[in-house]
Structure 1
Amino acid sequence: MESKQIYLRFLNLIHALDGGANTPAMDLDAKKLLEVIAVRHAAEKPLTVTDAMALNSIASPATIHRKLDQLRELGMIDTVFEGKNRRTKYLVPTQAAHDYFDQVGQVMQQALAEA
């Protein structure tokens, strides 16, 4: 199977996953923001709320603020303080986010296995 077909199969599986009962309803901006938060956290360089608000490649600051609220309400991210600094909040993925990424990883493996 060619690369394009594998990717299209992956997208089809992701769309099926998005409609599932165990998957929170997130729009594309929220997913992209969650991905950036998770990647930065995994690299041990967590985003601050201020850093996130500057991600104008994703959306405007007002939209990012709404998406952060949405991700918090869905239980996908949390804000934490580091050390004694109580002014800076860092964005971290929750267990629900890790579970979501695990599901996406399984879908990716399935798409490759069916290639």
Structure 2
Amino acid sequence: MDSKQIYLRFLNLIHALDGSANAPTMDLDAKKLLEVIAVRHASEKPLTVTDAMALSAIASPATIHRKLDQLRELGMIDTVFEGKNRRTKYLVPTPMAHDYFKQLGNVMKQALVEA
């Protein structure tokens, strides 16, 4: 199986995962925002709410604000304070988001194994 077929198999498995009963319902903007939040958090450079609002490559500030609310309501992100600074909120993925990424990782492994 060539790289294109592996990737298409991966996409097919992701779509099946997204359609399952236990998968959170997120649109592409929310997924992209969640990915950025998780990558920044994993690299120990968490995004602030203000930083997220400036991610114009994803969406407008108003849309990002709605997506942050959606991700919080889904239980995928949380806001936390660091240290004594109570004015700056940092966005962090929740255990539910970590489980979601684990499922995606398992789908990636499956696509590679079946190649």
Name the CA distance, whole Å, in 2 between partners of 1:2 and 1:52: 37
Q: Which amino acid aligns with 2:98?
A: H
**In the alignment, does 2:63 pair up with 1:63?**
yes
Could you say which residue in structure 2 is the equivalent of 1:92? Answer: 92
Deviation at 1:61, TM superposition (A): 0.3
* TM-score w.r.t. length of structure 2: 0.99
Q: Which amino acid aligns with 2:4?
A: K
Could you say which residue in structure 2 is the equivalent of 1:16? Answer: 16
Could you say which residue in structure 2 is the equivalent of 1:27? Answer: 27
Identity of aligned residues (%): 88
Deviation at 1:110, TM superposition (A): 0.2
Name the CA distance, whole Å, in 2 between partners of 1:21 and 1:104: 15
What stretches of structure 1 of length at least 5 have no aligned partner? none
Name the CA distance, whole Å, in 2 between partners of 1:42 and 1:54: 20
Q: 1:36-47 counterparts in 2 under 5 A?
A: 36-47=36-47
Could you say which residue in structure 2 is the equivalent of 1:111? Answer: 111
SS at match of 2:75: coil
* TM-score w.r.t. length of structure 1: 0.99
Number of positions where the alignment pairs a residue of Structure 1 with one of Structure 2: 115
Deviation at 1:21, TM superposition (A): 1.2
Name the CA distance, whole Å, in 1 between partners of 2:20 and 2:28: 16
Cα RMSD (Å) of the superposition?
A: 0.3
Q: Which amino acid aligns with 1:97?
A: A
SS at match of 1:91: strand
Q: Which amino acid aligns with 1:52?
A: A
Q: Which amino acid aligns with 2:34?
A: L
Name the CA distance, whole Å, in 1 between partners of 2:62 and 2:15: 27
Deviation at 1:43, TM superposition (A): 0.3
Deviation at 1:22, TM superposition (A): 1.3
Structure 1 segments of 4 or more deviating over 4 A? none
